Structure 1
């Protein structure tokens, strides 16, 4: 009978009450195939450096000899976790080496993983969209820290009480600035069968768009109750996703909106260049479904013909994997640019200068998304007038105005609808609304105009000055 008790390399069993490097083992919370999870406490509370944070110790499960994949994956996680920060990852506390006792101590997150939600699938599209948005935001934060997760699946996603998605288990991950031990030591695809991207099957481990493929699988499954590529357990089964189409989601659940099918099937494209180019761009569409540009994906009702699939199979047999640089390089090629358009406060001269600046940026950023944003000011208290004297919607009128403003850009640069979105924000404070939109949608660069100085503006502070002071991204201020 197999012994399921976690062991030290020397074979000593771990048990509650045992002390390891100043940590006291409490209850064993989980016993998995690769590791065990223990609740731990500081043996000496005066040594607590976390402010009383609840702690979790992850210990690799080594039994019957040292499993190379387990050991290497745990080494990878020990290297990566100390370099990660922010709300979308567990806070790292300490680690132990394999000479004495390997472990990682980290923040203990309350609640269940996303896996519990799959028992209720299919879920309503609004719930799937909310989950997809939060996971995409977490992925963008991770990719910005030079890491591709490469094992996005339900059991590796949790949520904080405040709502942010948290990604866990970095044993298969790839860090741009660290040695890739898994690639150096193993020659088999690394990942979890249903969620692995086509390029992972071809041994490419440095593309952040692989995580977007896995998120597409998650959203497909949550919305339909089915996995798009089944649950393959062999390399030949995994390779089928190089040449076969998933059943369109709307074929399985006809009530799903066309925009949702467009988004999911775009995530599941075989060629990474045909997917969203960053998690931030995906999150932007999920938060603005009315802005999703529909293509033939949205109308699909069946998979490709046998003849087409056979042709793809021949192509896949001889295809060489495309190495597209690091995660950081891919993000650098795929920014979200936001231009703040002052419909009423601008002048023709300022509009021309603003368009010229945006044009120059887009010419050197061919993979960028452009979000044209305008703020319709409303009262903090009381009723607002929502129509003009002719009964036309003021919101729609402002939306038409920013589309008209952007038309010369769109025509001059040949931008398709998938690279351009329009947003009218209703808020009492213009600067705060712009900053909030930029933060929520992980904008990389804000471009905005500023009118001439006046005594009143200098006294009260300008919108552009407030945006420059509060925005988390780069801001370019254009003057006429």
Structure 2
């Protein structure tokens, strides 16, 4: 079959070729148009000439398989693919602007700006991982931003899809990726662990806040293998004003063993979104690398240097959800809050890596001027934070798994829904009071949350009194009814 020409004005399956906008090491990018598509488009074409790296062809096959399956604001929309028999290509939307690589001349960035940038990337990774894909090439040149602010991940040639054949794993033995950003387990052939992307993001955040790469610029395989046992210099050694909460996040991402990192991108994004609630450990205070005795112990620890068992991506994400419990701490709420505690305890008992966010909404008036102090002169916001911490103390959770939040809003349900969406909450637990005339006319907060949330919702009612209990009821210390909404797709 005759191959179509990659020349200006040529037609390939209805796509009209424009100018070549980029010539990379594994593919070229062309601007294209299509009479039925108004969005600006790019056509990516692999390099297949004599002497080209065969990995370029295999990685392009991976991109052809993966891109059409992805959706959402954090990936470019795919409009078409072509096979190798005639002309291999992928047509995607053209994201306006430049990649994050264009900002390298500005490093180091201000800590707050770097936090916001990294938070957006972590949110994009959380969305990608929920679609069964691990990127495996997170670096500045693989990240763009939409005009609306969302991070967009590009270049999926090295990616792993949990439900598709991994051609790179099957056909090559050497790890492919960008050396300074590659996770240690990748050197052992592990490609199915989503925490590898979190390591790469940790490298990027370290680089963007210190101006130095944590493992240098080396690209030799021997040099890269040192990261299996050698930790980087703590950022605070490079910059004396480095925030402890930020070092805690960065060094946790850069842990050698994946199990020591954040379990999910959602939990990493949560900490980046709430730096004041990051639980500080010894990581945050470190000024030196690990002593040589620790390094040598790692060097000969076969558990760290041998390949790891296969990771089930879906199971990994499901075992580490973010759970939010919405509490009313006003008078008369004690019974309902005890039922909420029992429900939360049951859920968290089966999910030892779950995070719990305790919420309360300080309702604001629509037309009145709200006072920050109550009649006794106490700060309302602080009192509610203390009440939430007191409620959660009975759960006896490790402090790294718990945060408390007082939201100030006119519409409590809308505030809870917004918190859940912004913070990638997987499950909301909320109480429902007994019926009243006001709730009948205006609708309840719990009903609105259950109807509109994009995650699972458990609605808990207070227990019945002894007189109203039916045969088979227990002692009334648990919820009367539970309603579960479909989980996030």
Asked if 1:151 corresponds to 2:143, the answer is: no
1:5 alignment counterpart? none
1:67 positional shift: 2.9
- Residues 434 and 346 of structure 1, relative CA distance in 2, 3 Å threshold: farther
Structure 2 length-normalised TM = 0.92
- Residues 479 and 62 of structure 1, relative CA distance in 2, 3 Å threshold: same
Partner SS for 1:94: strand
CA contact (8 A) 1:324 1:330 kept: no
Partner SS for 2:301: helix
- Residues 32 and 66 of structure 1, relative CA distance in 2, 3 Å threshold: closer
1:88 and 1:161 map into 2 onto residues whose CA distance is 12
| Alignment map for 1:282-431 (pairs within 5 Å) | 282-315=268-301, 319-344=305-330, 347-410=333-396, 415-431=397-413
1:317 and 1:339 map into 2 onto residues whose CA distance is 38
Partner SS for 2:370: coil
1:326 positional shift: 2.2
- Residues 274 and 346 of structure 1, relative CA distance in 2, 3 Å threshold: farther
1:185 alignment counterpart? 171
1:85 and 1:183 map into 2 onto residues whose CA distance is 25
Partner SS for 1:119: helix
Asked if 1:26 corresponds to 2:18, the answer is: yes
Partner SS for 2:249: helix
Asked if 1:253 corresponds to 2:235, the answer is: no
CA contact (8 A) 1:346 1:451 kept: no
1:13 and 1:116 map into 2 onto residues whose CA distance is 32
Q: CA offsets, 1:238-279, max 9 Å, x none? A: 111111111111111111210000000000001111110000
1:150 positional shift: 0.7
1:450 alignment counterpart? 432
- Residues 345 and 27 of structure 1, relative CA distance in 2, 3 Å threshold: farther
1:170 and 1:284 map into 2 onto residues whose CA distance is 25
1:22 and 1:180 map into 2 onto residues whose CA distance is 31
CA contact (8 A) 1:446 1:475 kept: yes
1:3 alignment counterpart? none
2:416 alignment counterpart? 434
1:311 positional shift: 2.0
5+ residue gaps, structure 1: 1-8
| Alignment map for 1:18-167 (pairs within 5 Å) | 18-42=10-34, 45=35, 48=36, 50=37, 52-65=38-51, 67-167=53-153
1:250 and 1:316 map into 2 onto residues whose CA distance is 31
CA contact (8 A) 1:243 1:316 kept: no
Structure 1 length-normalised TM = 0.94
2:141 and 2:222 map into 1 onto residues whose CA distance is 25
2:251 and 2:25 map into 1 onto residues whose CA distance is 32
1:62 positional shift: 2.2
Q: What count of residue pairs does the alignment treat as equivalent? A: 462
1:321 positional shift: 2.1
2:258 and 2:79 map into 1 onto residues whose CA distance is 35
2:447 alignment counterpart? 465
CA contact (8 A) 1:248 1:301 kept: yes
CA contact (8 A) 1:449 1:477 kept: yes
1:345 positional shift: 6.1
2:254 alignment counterpart? 268
1:324 positional shift: 4.5
- Residues 434 and 345 of structure 1, relative CA distance in 2, 3 Å threshold: farther
Query: CA RMSD, aligned part only?
Result: 1.5
2:126 and 2:4 map into 1 onto residues whose CA distance is 41
CA contact (8 A) 2:4 2:87 kept: no
1:6 alignment counterpart? none
1:335 and 1:345 map into 2 onto residues whose CA distance is 31
1:116 positional shift: 1.1
1:228 and 1:452 map into 2 onto residues whose CA distance is 56
1:380 and 1:92 map into 2 onto residues whose CA distance is 45
